[in-house]
Structure 1
Amino acid sequence: MPVEPAKADEAKVPAELPSGPTEYQTTAAKLVYGLLSDSRYAYRPQALDDALSADMYTRYLEALDGGKQFFTAADIARFDRYKTRLDDAIKSGELDPAYAIFATYRERVNERVAYARKLLKQDIFDFTGDDEFHYDREDAPWAADTAALDKLWKQSVRNDWLRLKLAGKEPDKIRETLDKRYANLAENTAELEGQDVFQTFLNAYAAAIDPHTNYFTPRSAENFNLAMSLSLEGIGAVLQKQDDIVAIREIVPGGPADKSEILAPGDRIVGVGQGTSGPVEDVIGWRIDNVVELIRGPKDSQVRLDVIPAEAGLDSKPVRVVITRDEVRLEDQAAKSEILTIPGNGDAPDQRIGVIELPGFYQDFEARRLNKENYASATRDVARLLKQLKAQDVDGVVLDLRNNGGGSLNEAIELTGLFIDQGPVVQVRESGGRVVVNGDEDAGVAWDGPLAVLVNRGSASASEIFAGAIQDYGRGLIIGETTFGKGTVQNLVDLDRWPANEEERFGQVKLTIAQFFRVAGGSTQNKGVVPDIAFPASVDATEYGESTYDNALPWTKIAPVPHINYGNFAPLLPKLETLHTDRVADNREFQWWKEDVARYREEAAETSISLNEAERRAERDANEARRKQRQETREELGLALDPLAAAQLDDGLTANERDIVEDAAREKAAEDRPDPLLRESAAILADALWLLSNDEQLSAAVLPGSGTAGHWAD
């Protein structure tokens, strides 16, 4: 039947919040307390006392209202009575304070939304003055009263309006867009349930212990494990919510939805039914995770979807589609490779450098436990790609770990084993102080040739274990930025294992159980892995990374363990630096990237933005002229064009307000944008090959032994 779209002025009935926790949540809170306060489990257990309660209180308020745009100072004064009572609430499982604070939060969100929507009907959109919107309120005091919040929100609404105006939107369309945006804010808050409040509150406790301890509800735990395994059982579609309807953002290649040849990006899902007969539930207005839960299901089972095609109006009759679920591999998140051709130095031939991009250290733990033959594994995928690159006669390999936040410790160890012939990879110090050395026990390597590892500030944890081991062994060059600095090990603890439940009730805890150290003895904690050849830092260590956490473990070191030194790149680095500096001085893309980084860091240091239209328009025009000039220069020099050059200006929209099909296409196009850092990393590796092949004395100093590293100079 035709779908009646929700109207922005229709208030959504809030999800019913219990006044206190469920029986399961009471038990879960006590189980989490038992874990985090016990040295047999936690690496750094802490007593749950009034001091930790005060820390939890601050973190809970930050989780709800980090921008200080909803609560007033009067609200905080009223909440302060809970400041030293949250420890008792956790121990007893009586979590009423968490629900009481959240109930006020939801009230304040509704009040702010009502005020913002009221402002849209007023004449406040003159942008000729010199006032500003102060958006960074992290260090600001709580608003004194409602009048102070009104002033803040008025400037926020005016900024939202100005962004859309600068993007070319007409007043009526701006008013419609913002009214819907603010209404959606209230609706999203109304959708929050007791389990969301409970998870947020327990995570305030977990984060007070250390930055990488987390609590997951059963549903969140399932999603976390699926992300690690890169596989799930379902239809193979990425979903996104727009207003009250869940739509398809992307079809996973090779999945059931793709094979159906019926579904397409932009299609709206308005009903879901199980099997080939029976009721189809209307899912308009549902939370997206509830819709996803209905659509997922066991392999070979069937699901019926009522779908309105992307090109049809919302009042169109839905099309019913029956799809048989299957196991879906998320290939876009798996390792992938390409080959870059780097011009030779002087009369030297061109070098073919293989590049492997590894987004994460994934592993399907359950499939491995069950001895399934083709379980997802980062190491297996990289080994397969190395074999392919080897067959294509590449001269060297760059492993791209930028923005790889880590994953499986076991995968980090096994991946290192692809490049070293047996030996220790990482030292792990457990909560009791015992140090265990984990290493590669398999003889032989998958790649014995030249290697570089590209990292940035987003490379963390398992990425740092791998990069640190490669650096300590002298097995390859580390290029890029200093890494994140996460030197701790976490383990998932299933809270249902103790009561031996047949169903999942209590969730899981990602618990810090150990600290890892490099084979050379140093920790990556806080300091990260420092590259051999450094690119300009895209973000400052005070803005992002382990060093920004107020309760992160300090850096320390332990005794090194014996390991092979395949090479010593110190004599080579000055020459590489010189070649690198000379080359990037004439590299337009690299210099543009440096300019953009400098501009980004300047903007990141700002805490406010002008609400003067002429000033903002001048900035926008300058940005547009810069992009246009760069694209023209690319054409003149025969460089690859930037596929997103025409889409980089601020459109004033949020992610769920954009056209899904166009936005997904832009996301795909971004994969083909010029990547000067990757190309320069390949060029640096090619420089190393050229230098070592043409200077016997240098080669003898850098590669004193034979074996794996000896192939650098072949």
Structure 2
Amino acid sequence: MKAHYPLLILALAAPVALLARAPGSAGTDTAIASGPTVEQGTTAKLVYGLLSDSRYAYRPRALDDTLSSDVFKRYLEALDNSKMFFTAQDIARFAPYKTTLDDAIKGGDMGPAFAIFARYKQRVDQRSAYARSLLKQDIFDFSGNDRWYYDREDAAWAADDAALNTMWKESVRNDWLRLKLAGKKPDDIRKTLDKRYATLDSSVAELNGEDAFQSFLNAYTSAIDPHTDYFDPRTAERFNQSMSLSLEGIGAVLQKQDDLVLIREVVPGGPAARSNKLKPGDRVVAVGQGTSGVMEDVIGWRIDDVVEKIKGPKGTQVRMDVIPPEAGLDSKPVRIVLTRDKIKLSEDAAKAETITIPAANGVPAKRIGVIKLPGFYQDFEGRRSNDGDYASATRDVARLLKQFRAQKVDGVVMDLRNNGGGSLDEAVDLTGLFIDKGPVVQVRESGGRVSVDGDSKAGVAWDGPLAVLTNRGSASASEIFAGAIQDYGRGLIIGETTFGKGTVQNLVDLDRWPSNEQTHFGQVKLTIAQFFLPGGSSTQNKGVVPDVRFPVSVDATEYGESTYDNALPWTRIAAVPHVRYGNFAPILPQLDALHDARVAKDKEFQWWSQDVAEFRIEHAKKYVSLNESERRVERDRQAAKEVDRQAQRKALGLDTDPLADDATDDGLQVGERDIIAETAREKAAEKRPDPLLRESAAILADATNLLVQDQELTAEVLPESKLPTHWAQ
């Protein structure tokens, strides 16, 4: 399998969430009405064969009544995790399926899954109708002590429709209160919420058999382990595009709003950007292929179906009728013709910036280079085809390090916050940019065989001071890189303990088995191994613990590998020989002291710490008050806090927060706001002050200063016989 499929170590690729699917045309429910297809039955049997075979799965599980019960539970959670649609009566009705789904999967019978799904759609329709009916009632008095308990994941199923009605009434009242606090008038609130609940209904109504099948099959795969997933052909294509950072199309990001698909963003350098004919907010009403293909009206279509029509092979043409945002919907559309091209998704690629740490106490200023790496991406197809221009995280980082060397920066911070993983090869190769040969990761397969993957190339791309910034969202490949850097003593790890995902996945194409078939069956991202660091420790469950720690923003009981009920436990194996370039333990107390003293005077860092603490307190409550006076006091407190902070920023000469004036919750959901303003807000968010990154650069500068000032300490931290860097020069 290694020879044919790319190894992945993705951490956060979850099964498809049904309500995350974009809304489209109503009346496209034929797949549900006609039941599951023969191809879906075949796919289910193929996935069963794969997951039950120890030659493929790292931890195969027998598909029996016990696992059937687990699949049953996970499927219900996938459909109704908040327990806002099904009742206990529904669950009792489904009870016969609890121990028979194993037989259904083995036999390729998707009937039970589709029956549950059909009931779900019916329940959503009923709930939407009830929510809309509440808008006509006099229930919006907010002077009492009512609360909306929004966290229902661990709650019992509502006994009956009456119990559901009670919950929905509180939920609708909370939606109303949020809009009221944002300054909306009753008529506007009523219209907004009526459209919101109608959109919920139409979004779910149009979910089809493919959606039902993928959700059910992912209930099965996630019962095996948290990171095994089924991708239908369309989802598999999108996944591969995200890994390669490229696709072929016009270079535009689309978003659904009501029954229309709008241009959300134009990708720089793509055909749309080069044409200067498309802009954010433009509404796409029809699409045609080539120079003479029929123009198809796409109003009311699902967004993924519209995307399929617009994208296509490089060099082909697509025609689109669009209505500008300032024009009425009855206006005559503008016909735009674009030639598709290969689009590089540069927004998700590695990026560099430089932070200057001012001189202080006789210590000269330091310039620290920062590389922000969102993922360990690689264009697998481009690499296999020997395309010298294929996307690669390591290649991009090497290029940025070359620029830093030319700029003579004093140190480099690798920012891996919220980097959820990617290619195992990239994790190994990227580590090789900072170490001079040696093992990077140990991989143990299901049979117990351990192989070692490492850097075999002499030399390094950066031999200077190094730090790695992590948080709880740093997972998998990020943990391999950070853990190896820590094992080698090559750099400092700063921030929060990482996610804790220590398993390796492989993409397996299901089309490899059926013979003489024209149908595509999709792919399975399958856990095939567990990885261990050079020192023998697994990152599984425990993650990588930083040398210098920041306040915990997300508790390990709420997010991370340890929250999965079927995650593998932490363990360790024998270490493999590797160089220890340094040992930072002797300077960690001094770094902590300098860090504490600095952040005590750093307003931005203090504010971040305060916000984290407040968020954790609010999150632990799992409810919000429905008393208007209480909510207004809280809203006004938050608004005053932002005004005060902005004033202090100006007084202290700090960069202002571009979102400070837009901090109040407007009560609207994504898709209800103006797309142009929302896109601008997202761009502004990228320019917000980042005290954690600045502090990480300062900590790295502290380390270099300490080693320059104290030669005895340098000899203890970085023995000269093993000194590969100019840390102390």
- TM-score, with structure 1 as normaliser: 0.98
Which of residues 478, 489, 492 is equivalent to 2:504? 489
Sort the Cα spacing of 1:129 and 1:113 in 2 relative to 1 into closer, same or farther, 3 A. same
Residue 346 (structure 1) aligns with: 361
Query: Residue 526 of structure 1 contacts residue 547 of structure 1 at CA under 8 Å; is this kept in 2?
Result: yes
Which of residues 459, 466, 490 is equivalent to 1:444? 459
CA positional deviation for 1:15: 4.7
Query: Residue 39 of structure 2 contacts residue 519 of structure 2 at CA under 8 Å; is this kept in 1?
Result: no
**Which protein, 1 or 2, shows the higher relative CO under an 8 Å CA cutoff with sep ≥ 6?**
2
Which of residues 15, 18, 34 is equivalent to 2:49? 34
Residue 312 (structure 1) aligns with: 327
Q: Does 1:399 align with 2:414?
A: yes
Which of residues 564, 576, 597 is equivalent to 2:579? 564
CA distance in 2, matches of 1:233, 1:634: 44
CA positional deviation for 1:709: 3.7
Q: Encode CA deviations 1:503-528: one digit per residue, 9 max, x unaligned.
A: 55210000000000000000000000
Q: How do 1:59-208 and structure 2 match up within 5 A?
A: 59-208=74-223
Query: Residue 26 of structure 2 contacts residue 300 of structure 2 at CA under 8 Å; is this kept in 1?
Result: no
Residue 5 (structure 1) aligns with: none
CA positional deviation for 1:12: 5.5
CA positional deviation for 1:287: 0.5
Q: Encode CA deviations 1:651-674: one digit per residue, 9 max, x unaligned.
A: 100011010010000100011100
CA positional deviation for 1:579: 0.4
Q: Secondary structure at the match of 1:436?
A: strand
CA distance in 2, matches of 1:478, 1:399: 10
Residue 51 (structure 1) aligns with: 66
CA positional deviation for 1:134: 1.4
Residue 221 (structure 1) aligns with: 236
Residue 347 (structure 2) aligns with: 332
Sort the Cα spacing of 1:368 and 1:501 in 2 relative to 1 into closer, same or farther, 3 A. farther
CA distance in 2, matches of 1:301, 1:571: 62
Q: Encode CA deviations 1:520-546: one digit per residue, 9 max, x unaligned.
A: 000000000000000010000000000
Query: Residue 28 of structure 2 contacts residue 208 of structure 2 at CA under 8 Å; is this kept in 1?
Result: no
CA distance in 2, matches of 1:19, 1:284: 25
- TM-score, with structure 2 as normaliser: 0.96
Structure 2 residues not aligned, in runs of 5+: 1-22
CA distance in 2, matches of 1:453, 1:607: 34
- Of 498-507 and 411-420, more deviation after overlay is shown by 498-507
Q: Does 1:672 align with 2:719?
A: no
- Of 19-28 and 669-678, more deviation after overlay is shown by 19-28
CA positional deviation for 1:501: 6.0
Query: Residue 15 of structure 1 contacts residue 190 of structure 1 at CA under 8 Å; is this kept in 2?
Result: no
CA distance in 1, matches of 2:614, 2:511: 50
CA distance in 2, matches of 1:625, 1:91: 60
- Of 53-62 and 602-611, more deviation after overlay is shown by 602-611
Query: Residue 218 of structure 1 contacts residue 504 of structure 1 at CA under 8 Å; is this kept in 2?
Result: no
CA positional deviation for 1:138: 1.2
CA distance in 2, matches of 1:343, 1:503: 64
CA distance in 2, matches of 1:316, 1:171: 31
Residue 379 (structure 1) aligns with: 394
Q: How do 1:530-609 and structure 2 match up within 5 A?
A: 530-609=545-624
CA positional deviation for 1:11: 7.5
Q: Does 1:478 align with 2:493?
A: yes
CA distance in 2, matches of 1:503, 1:476: 52
Query: Residue 20 of structure 1 contacts residue 94 of structure 1 at CA under 8 Å; is this kept in 2?
Result: no
Residue 303 (structure 2) aligns with: 288
CA positional deviation for 1:285: 0.6
CA distance in 2, matches of 1:13, 1:479: 50
CA distance in 2, matches of 1:15, 1:177: 30
CA distance in 1, matches of 2:296, 2:337: 14
CA distance in 1, matches of 2:639, 2:377: 40
Q: How do 1:11-26 and structure 2 match up within 5 A?
A: 14-26=29-41
Q: For this pair of structures, how many residues does the alignment match?
A: 706
CA distance in 1, matches of 2:195, 2:674: 15
Which of residues 638, 645, 649 is equivalent to 2:660? 645
Q: Encode CA deviations 1:149-175: one digit per residue, 9 max, x unaligned.
A: 111111111110000000001111111
Residue 634 (structure 1) aligns with: 649
Q: Secondary structure at the match of 1:577?
A: helix
CA positional deviation for 1:82: 0.3
CA distance in 2, matches of 1:315, 1:706: 77
CA distance in 2, matches of 1:464, 1:500: 40
Query: Residue 26 of structure 2 contacts residue 205 of structure 2 at CA under 8 Å; is this kept in 1?
Result: no
Sort the Cα spacing of 1:12 and 1:125 in 2 relative to 1 into closer, same or farther, 3 A. farther
CA distance in 2, matches of 1:713, 1:345: 18
Query: Residue 15 of structure 1 contacts residue 191 of structure 1 at CA under 8 Å; is this kept in 2?
Result: no
Give the letter aligned to residue 707 of structure 2. L
Which of residues 708, 715, 718 is equivalent to 1:693? 708
CA distance in 2, matches of 1:57, 1:220: 23
Residue 388 (structure 1) aligns with: 403
Sort the Cα spacing of 1:80 and 1:390 in 2 relative to 1 into closer, same or farther, 3 A. same
Which of residues 702, 705, 710 is equivalent to 2:717? 702
Q: Secondary structure at the match of 1:572?
A: helix
Which of residues 595, 603, 616 is equivalent to 2:631? 616
CA positional deviation for 1:561: 0.2
Give the letter aligned to residue 639 of structure 1. L
CA distance in 1, matches of 2:181, 2:460: 56
Identical aligned residues as a percent: 72
Query: Residue 19 of structure 1 contacts residue 96 of structure 1 at CA under 8 Å; is this kept in 2?
Result: no
CA distance in 2, matches of 1:422, 1:640: 42
CA positional deviation for 1:191: 1.4
Query: Residue 149 of structure 2 contacts residue 624 of structure 2 at CA under 8 Å; is this kept in 1?
Result: yes
Q: Secondary structure at the match of 1:106?
A: helix
CA distance in 1, matches of 2:437, 2:293: 58
CA distance in 2, matches of 1:130, 1:604: 19
Q: How do 1:396-475 and structure 2 match up within 5 A?
A: 396-475=411-490
Residue 269 (structure 2) aligns with: 254
CA distance in 1, matches of 2:378, 2:515: 26
CA distance in 1, matches of 2:650, 2:713: 40
Query: Residue 571 of structure 1 contacts residue 701 of structure 1 at CA under 8 Å; is this kept in 2?
Result: yes
